[in-house]
Every structure is written in structure tokens, then in C-alpha cells.
Chain A
Amino acid sequence: MTDKKPDPRRPDETFEPFEATRRIPWPVYSIAIALAIWGVIMLVQTSTAVQVADKAQTEAAKQEPTKLAQAAAPDLDAGKTLFADNCATCHGDAGEGVTGAFPPLHGSDIVKLGGAKAVTQIVMRGIGGKLNVNGESYEGEMPAFGSVLSDTEISEVASYVATGLNDDAKTISAPEVADIRKVAGDMDPLDGGAGLAGLINNLPAQPESAAAEKGPGSERVAQLVSQGSGTVWACASCHGDKGEGTETVPRLAGLPAPYLAKQLHDFQKGTRPNDSMAYVAKGLSDQEIVELANYYATMTSPSGAKPSLEGDLKRGAQLAKEGDWSIGVPACFTCHGPSGVGVAPNFPGIAAQQPAYVAHQLAMWAGGARHNSPLGLMAGIGKALNDADRRAVADYLASLAPMPAMDKTELAAMESNIPVREGVDQ
């Protein structure tokens, strides 16, 4: 043991015997190697993804200046897409119009004479009154897209209508649209042909202004809406000054008066459950209900609704325009009219409705909490849609322009029909 000369074959003093004897088992190496390979694969994948993203970014950056350079020349392809999304449900894919209902845009004398500028005004403000196009008479109740489309989008779609659907040479740029918005952005819809005549020179004969009174009805109703009464709080405190609603509080502006009246009666009777509205409705007289319903039906307000439920807009558009018959759901527009403007008295407008409200109501119909639709039509549809579908269609509807308001003259004709019908409800 006192051997001073260390055996060269012996390990040095720091040696710990188990290192040499207990070798690392091979499966551990296997796992290490597998992890290493996985790591390399991940690295390669990430770097490819980054490269692709970089490339896309640089390309986008390259396009940005050209886009800016083209500010004066709006993107007509984008205009065509916008047209298909916003206009085609009424005016047709090629702007051919619908006989007796929606005027043609292709070969339209109004578009020809007014060009992209007049189209911009019409798109931004909408139309509320009779007009003549190519000698044919139309009701001319077109929603205003000012709150739904940006200046760039309006310039694109108006330019497409003027140059793509017709052979006008002049387009309109986004700054020009912005200038028009400064002046006319908050104005009421154009008063039919009479309103157009003020915009476009040498327009062929147009029907005279119907001078349809719109907006607030009697002072009493206006007060009820904005201040409420002793027992009833103001409608506007929840539904907004312009009846535009918010989140789960519905938009009321532009809904058919008979529909609104029926809902208020249903809240009163408890056939549509809602604690707040039951309280409010019980404080209203039948006369007040009629007046309030008329007030909101003739009201036009910009859309305050935006898609907010992360719904799949493509699926929503499919449900709204075509339906999904594999689950027994017809297109929303089959009953609620083209572009969801509604069909009075029983089918309310659903365009520009608050998405959270729509999705909530669909779920309530599905669950049976709401059960006051005619024939129970909405119960089956609510049940057939799954949660993702309900969010998809609610978000899509929120992306549409608000439905046009009903004019007073039409309302008067309908007033006698306001249903306080028992038995029809289920």
C-alpha cells in the first residue's frame, strides 16, 4: 500500500469507479439521438417558415409603394370582390338588377350620367324613395354603406361599377371619397330620383320627392325614447340614441313596426322571456307600443355592428345566402329577404344586427328559452346550427349594411295590420 510509484494503468485520484463500470444504457442514447433529430427537424421547419414569412413580407413591402403610387387608380379587382360581397345579392353578379325590384347597374343611365362620383354618393348614403332607371320605376330603398365600407373600399366598388360594369373612363380615388364623406357622410339617404336629380345634371325625368317624413314621430314618443317615463326607463339608455343597439342589446332602427309591436306585447305577456323588457313593456300602453314601433321602423341609423365573435365569415355567408340543406337549414335570405333587409310584418331585418345578440337569440331558440317565432320556424333552425355556425352567421350579418327604413306612407298602410294576434304564436 505504500507503493509510491503509481501504477500507470490505475486511474488518478479524482476517478470515481462507477463512471467506468456503469455505462449509460443505450436506450438513453436512443432518446438523446431522437431528441436531437427532432430538434434539427424543428429548426429546419422554423427556418423555412421564417423564410417564407420574410419573403411574403418583403413582397408586401414591395407592393406597398406601388399601391401608394396607384392611389389615384383604385384596385378594380378588389372592387369586383366588394361588389360580389355587398351588391350582388340584390343587383346580381353582373349588375343586371332584378326586374321590378332592383335597378340594373350595368348599362344604367344614372351610372352613365353620374359616373363614379354619383355611385359613391349612392353607396355612401343609400337611397330612400322612388326613382327611375332606364325608364323603369323602382321603389329605391337601398341601405347606406357609409358605416360599413371604408373610403378605399367605396372608391374601389364605385370605380368598378363605373368602369368595370360600364364603360366610363373615370374612376374615383379614396381621397376624393373622403372629401365626399366630409360633406355628405352624415346625411340621410338620397330622396329617390329627386335626390339624384340634385346630384346629376340632365337626368331623365324622375318621380317627385315623396317628402316622406322620416325620423322622430310625435314629441311624446321622442321623449319616451330619450328620457323614459315615470315607470319606464328610456329606450335609448340601452338601445342607443340611434336605435343601433350594442352587444346583446338589439338594433331596433329599421325593423318592421308590426314585428317590434309583437315583441313588446310578447314581453308583456311573458311569451318572450326577458326580465328587463318585461318590466319596460308592462309600463307601456298599447298606443305607446304602436307609436314606439313606428318610431323605430322609420328610423335609419348607421351600422354600429361589427363581426366580433370570431365566426367564419365564409361559412356565415353560405348560411345566409344558400343555407345548408344537409342540416335542414334554408338560406336566411329566403325568408328575411335579399341581403337580410327583412319582409314585413313577420320577418325582421337581420342585416347589421349586433352579432352577440343574434348568436344569443339563436341559442335561445335552440334551447327553447325563446319560442315566439311564427310556426316555431326559428326553433328548428337554431337547433340545427352548432355553436360555430351561430357565431359564423351572426358575424356575417353584422358585416352587412343596415336595412333601409320604412317610409311613413307605407307604414300607414300597414298600421291596421299590426298583429296583436293570439294563437299564431307558439
Chain B
Amino acid sequence: MSNKHPSDIPPRGETDPSRGKTALRAILAVGGGLALVVLGSLLVNFGLAPSWLTGATRDQSEAEAAAQQSGGDTQHAKLFTPPAESTIPDDDFGKSVRRGLAIFNDTGTNAHDFVGNDLSCSNCHLDAGRQAFSAPMWAAYPVYPKYRGKNKMVNTMEDRIKGCFTYSMNAQGSPSGGPPPYGSDVYRDLQAYFFWMSKGLPTGEKPEGAGFGKIDKPAKEPSRQRGEAVFAQNCAVCHGADGQGQKDINGKVVFPPLWGPNSFNWGAGMHKINAAAAFIKHNMPLSEPNKLTVQEAWDVAAFVDSHPRPNDPRQIGDVTVKDAVDKWHHNHQGFYGKEVDGKLMGPGYPSSDQASAPAQNESSGG
């Protein structure tokens, strides 16, 4: 309205009834505008706005998928989740953690001098020692030092790892002829890895998911014969019909041998049928845990553990198998010291002729 007449302007001093109203309207309008902006941004920020408006479909569906994934396994909901590998810090401590992880995943390469077989720690401690009910290292670390009946003394974590090298990795057949000496960087780095993985767990408490988990007693006495059939059906594809594992085109061990000269020895925990059965039930075949019945797990564990394997390294000098049974194996559920198909289980592959361990002596045994 360009042609405002001077008389439109109310005379000075006179109160115009509409003036107050205009101011009120202006305040309302500005306030309302600001309120709308605030409201709008809040809606968008809290994801209340419809997705077609904000274009946030992708993010949302991903978030939902993630929520579904984490919530899918309700049975394992309370299990500890170790930190992701990508969060290992980029400092000197992190370097040690990474070295420990490398040793764990490829023990024969990264702790070459102390490994006397074709196994790696991660063969039994799946997912680099992270998988629950596969003796995860985050569950082991917080309960050491502890008293162990195996050697009747208080063991530190270093003692315990030394035991793993001695028995499960058959260090007696390694280039150095034994496990890493106390104080070795191998222990330091492995412990750094375990410690890092256990962050946030209380010490002195055994977390849910520790060890290989519980397995019920079998209805029938474990049978090697039934176990052989279970093995052929469920295990041979990966571990080979002869249980000797499989290598790739370059000779790299991809599937670990389960018995024979290149597997764990008679002192390893896995030679006990109950331990093997629990591991098998909860972890094998890979990616199909609990596929086998309780009975099948016990049967196939009996089959696997009734084959020759390297000597118990404690069995040195004049110690006979019978002595060893009385001293170390009398309360084990295993075949040590027993006869299988007319052959005594125990004097398997002594360290002196480890390298020339005759394959024909071993045969399939079943």
C-alpha cells in the first residue's frame, strides 16, 4: 500500500487499539516460527519423522537388522562379548596384543620353535579364542592364578599356557624340544591378548560360557564302533577319512589332524573323552553346533581318542605306561594305557624318534 495517507498514521499520543494486537501477532508469529523449527529438528533427530521425508530408510533397516542379530540368540544373551579385533589400540601394548593374536591363530609359524605338531591354539579355542563354550580366553584369564589338580600347585596364567605348549602343542617334538622358557615373549604376548580381550570382566569369577560347557552323560557307554560311523558321516569331509587333517595346495594345514604323530599328545586335555565330547557337542561340525546328539558326541569322541598319538611328555626315563596311568591318568575317561584292537595306547611317538614316526605303525586303528 504505497499510497498511505498521512492520516493513516494515528496521531501521536493517541492509543490505537490495533497496535497492541499487531505486536502480539508479531510475537506469536515469530515465536511460532521458532517453535516449528525446533519441533521439526527434534522430530528429525529422534527419528520420529517419516522415513520417506528424511531418506533414512537404509540406516534404519540396518539398525533393525543389527538389533535382530544381537537379539536373535536369546539363550546366549547374557554371554560376554569380547571387544572387536579392530579396537586393539595402536600403541606398543596393542602391538603385543596383535603378536599374541598372531601366535594364537597360527602357532606353528609364530611360535615355531615350541610347536611339535600341526595344530594352532585357535583349532580348539574357536574364533581366535573368543567363542563361548569353546574354552574362550576371556573366560580363562580372570580365574588365574588358581590351584590345578593336574600338577597339584597354584598355576599362573603363564604356567597354564606352558601346559598347553607341553601337551596340546606337543612341544617335546618341536625344534627346541620343549615349551617356551619362563619369561618368554610368547607368554607375554599371549597374556597381553587374553588380558585385552577380558576387559570389563570381574576377576576371580568364572563367566558364563567358560570351558567347553557341560554335556550330559550318554545313555549308552560310548562306543568306538558307533563313533567311527559318526566320524565318517560328519567329520571326515574336513579332517580326512584318516583323521589326519587336510592341507591346501601349498601344504598349509587348513584342517587340523585329530590323532597320529602331528596331533596333540597323551597329556593334552582333549585326550579325555569327556572333554572332547563337550567340545564336539558345542562346536562341531564347524558352524553347526549341537548338530550331533549327546550320544553321537560321546561316541565320536571315543573314536577320535582311541588312536595312537605322541607320548605323554611326563613319561620319561623309566616311567612305563602303567606307571603313568597310576600317576596321572587313573581318573581320566580315556584310552591311555588300555588296549585297542590288541594295541596298547600310550607309547605312541616318543620324542626321540618323533621325526621318523612310522605311519604304518599308526594305521587307522579303527
Contact = CB atoms under 8 A, between A and B. Distances in A.
Interface residues of B, number: 55
Contacts of A384: 287
A374 B109 contact: no
Given A99-B108, A102-B252, A341-B248, A346 B237 contact: yes
Interface stretch (A134-142, A173-181, A275-283, A299-307): A134-142
Contact of B28 (A8, A30, A139, A344): A30
Given A9-B5, A34-B36, A96-B110, A338 B249 contact: no
Contact of A97 (B25, B109, B237): B109
A34 B255 contact: no
Interface in B34-57: 34-37, 40
Contact of A31 (B5, B25, B33): B33
Nearest to A12: B3
A27 interface: yes
B249 A141 contact: yes
A100 B251 contact: yes
Contacts of B216: none
Given A38-B37, A375-B237, A380-B288, A337 B29 contact: no
A27 B30 CA distance: 9
A337 B248 contact: yes
A34 B109 contact: no
Interface string A397-426: 000000110100010000000000000100
B289 interface: yes
Contact of B288 (A334, A343, A377): A377
A342 B33 contact: no
Of A347, A381, A406, which is in contact with the most chain B CB atoms at under 10 Å from its CB? Answer: A347
A139 B33 contact: no
A34 B248 contact: no
B69 A335 contact: no
Given A30-B36, A98-B106, A102-B250, A9 B7 contact: yes
Contact of A99 (B7, B109, B238): B109
A102 B254 CA distance: 13
B34 A341 contact: no
A32 interface: yes
A102 B252 CA distance: 8
Given A93-B102, A323-B127, A337-B248, A374 B33 contact: no
Contacts of A403: 249
Interface in A347-386: 347, 374-377, 380-381, 384, 386
Contacts, number: 157
B237 A374 contact: yes
Contacts of B358: none
B250 A27 contact: no
A386 B249 CA distance: 31
Given A26-B28, A97-B109, A33 B33 contact: yes
Interface residues of A, number: 62
A327 interface: yes
Contacts of B286: 330, 334-335, 377
Contacts of A142: 250
A52 interface: no
Contacts of A328: 287, 289
Nearest to A323: B127
Contact of B29 (A8, A26, A322, A424): A26
What DSSP secondary structure best describes chain A's contact surface?
A: mixed
Contact of B32 (A26, A97, A335, A404): A26
Contacts of B109: 92, 96-99
Contacts of A92: 102, 106, 109-110
Contact of B40 (A34, A141, A338, A341): A34
A97 B106 CA distance: 11
A18 interface: no
B40 A325 contact: no
B85 interface: yes
A277 B247 CA distance: 31
A210 interface: no
A202 interface: no
A338 B248 contact: yes
Contacts of B355: none
Contacts of A323: 127
Contacts of A102: 250, 252
A34 B37 contact: yes
Given A37-B33, A325-B130, 4 more contacts: A32-B33, A100-B251, A101-B247, A334-B254
15 contacts: A8-B5, A27-B29, A29-B26, A30-B33, A30-B35, A37-B33, A98-B106, A100-B108, A101-B250, A138-B250, A322-B85, A335-B286, A337-B252, A341-B249, A343-B248
